[in-house]
Amino acid sequence: MNWLTDRISEEEIYAWELLVDDGFFVIALAFLFFEVARYAAQRALSWKLLADALTNYATLAMFIGVNTVLLSGAYVSAYLLAAEFSLFSIPISWASVLAAVLLADIAYYWEHRFAHRVNLAWATHSVHHSSPFFNISVAYRFGPMDGVWPIFFHIPIVLLGFNPFVVFFAEVVVQVYQTALHTESIGKLPRPIEAVLNTPSHHRVHHGANRKYLDANYAGILIIWDRLFGTFVEEDEAVVYGLVKPLDSVNPITAFFHGFWRLIRNALGCTGFWGKLLYFVRPPDWSEEG
Amino acid sequence: MPKPTLIRTSAGVAATALLGLTVAWLCSLLPLTGAATSSSEQLLEPRTSVTRHHAPASDADEGEGLDVEIHGIRGTEGRILIMVFDRATAYRAYDYEQSVGYAEIRPRTSTVTHHFRQLRSGPYAVVAIHDANEDYELNMQGDVPSEGYAASGAKGPYHEPSFQEAASRARHRRLAMHYLR
């Protein structure tokens, strides 16, 4: 078991991050072909589904443009600065990487819950939920500020003493795991797995616009956080995907920006200056009418 | 839709913070095994013996020792001199001949690491110098170092920690190289 505590260099961790992130993108593309064939066999394939898949990848391209060009410098700088004030000094080994993945997973739970319950964050995250379909291409449907909120929830892990490269890698692991959950082609898994891990079934619930499924199952890898913190819902009825107020468009520009368009429109509709300002931090299901 | 109470949510946040602190503390105690240097550095033959006051470690001691990581290094010229002290007098003098651990590393990236296998007790204070002109001195311009320097326990580039502030029994030390010129 010595390999768990063998030293790993930052370069090696970065190489693993690229392999996991980019490698799974290729696997996901292949899986998408399988899903399209499955829909075709079920006579459920439509031009709208194919157009929606293209829209998903278009939003990915726009998201990469926004985050890589505008934010990556700030992202990396923030992590490196935080490392200067770390509480503990934690060496890089597979043991500490596993621990970082655990902490990144619980950090993701709170970040995800924040994204669903605060309008300013929901404005970007709602893009991901706006597809009326559920296949692996939906996993790559991103909003313009999706790369911003993770900083605030994962910097504490750097402050605890984990190497910034390790935290980046842990975030990628949590994201890639969830990517694989975006499918209708996998039913419920054996109960021990469904009890502990996030699964396609749990994540279908999360994407549901059904009233009982709203704001549930925020987990990344471990569903136990939802069970512990009171946000778990079992899949027991057919899921209606998309938003409560559907976005009926496959235009990628419309899809990418609709969340912020709705945010600003709704805020302007509130009474008074403070009413408008506070709207940004209220939950999406809040209204002045109550 | 689930609506967790404020108390349950608050308890969840508190439990998360406690989990984070506990996991991080346990990870800081992890032993480190494997290669002593990263692929990004070239370990030079030190001018004198690496250790002076400790018996050579046996195979059974793998995982013990002192692990030092210096980050924030600028450029690849010269060498990084790492000195480990277990006494205040030697530490204050930056006297490598009285150090209990010494290494010279030519930097290839902004981070160098070194594992002092034989240093198993402590407390140890760690100092590093970016000796860009390879004169084995920390060059000064007046009172300000003109070469990079790092010290364990330093709270910033202008903080010169005492031996008590710099010394620790922690097995993994991560130092920031500061450049004031």
The model's pLDDT over B130-140, given as tens digits with 9 standing for 90+, comes to: 998 888 888 88
Q: What is the pLDDT of residue B45?
A: 39
Can you tell me which residue has the tokens 């404020």? B6
Q: Is A85 on the interface with B (CB under 8 A)?
A: no
Q: Round to whole Å and give the CA distance between B163 and B86.
A: 9
Nearest CA to A54 among A141, A143, A183?
A: A141
**A91 to chain B nearest CA, in Å?**
6
pLDDT band at residue B32 under the 50/70/90 scheme: low
Q: What is the pLDDT of residue B44?
A: 42
**Which parts of chain A register pLDDT below 50?**
none
Q: What is the pLDDT of residue B56?
A: 35
Q: What is the pLDDT of residue B34?
A: 58
- Name the residue in chain B with its Cα closest to that of A104: B20
Partner residue facing B28 (CB), from A89, A211, A216: A89
Residues of B in Cβ contact (< 8 Å) with A87: 21, 24
- A103 and B2 within 8 Å at the Cβ level: the answer is no
Nearest CA to A103 among A117, A87, A116, A118?
A: A87
Q: Is A183 on the interface with B (CB under 8 A)?
A: no
Residues of A in Cβ contact (< 8 Å) with B15: 228
Model confidence pLDDT, tens digit, residues B60-106 = 344 578 999 998 888 888 899 999 998 888 888 878 888 899 999 98
**B6 to chain A nearest CA, in Å?**
10
Q: Mean pLDDT across the stretch B102-122?
A: 87
Mutate to test the interface with A, among B26, B27, B171 (most CBs of A within 10 A): B27
pLDDT band at residue B33 under the 50/70/90 scheme: low
Would you call A228 exposed, middle or buried from its count of C-beta atoms within 10 A (0-12, 13-18, 19+)?
Answer: middle
Residues of B in Cβ contact (< 8 Å) with A160: 20-21, 23-24
DSSP string, A110-159: HHHHHHHHSHHHHHHHHHHH--SS-SGGGGG---TTTTTHHHHHHHHHHH
Q: Is B37 on the interface with A (CB under 8 A)?
A: no
Q: What is the pLDDT of residue A90?
A: 84
Peptide bond into B123 cis (omega under 30): yes
Q: What is the pLDDT of residue B53?
A: 35
pLDDT band at residue B160 under the 50/70/90 scheme: confident
Do B33 and A6 touch, CB atoms closer than 8 A? yes
Mutate to test the interface with B, among A96, A97, A166, A232 (most CBs of B within 10 A): A96
Q: What is the pLDDT of residue A127?
A: 97
Tokens of B127: 């100092």
Q: Is A84 on the interface with B (CB under 8 A)?
A: yes
0.90 cut: is pTM over it? no
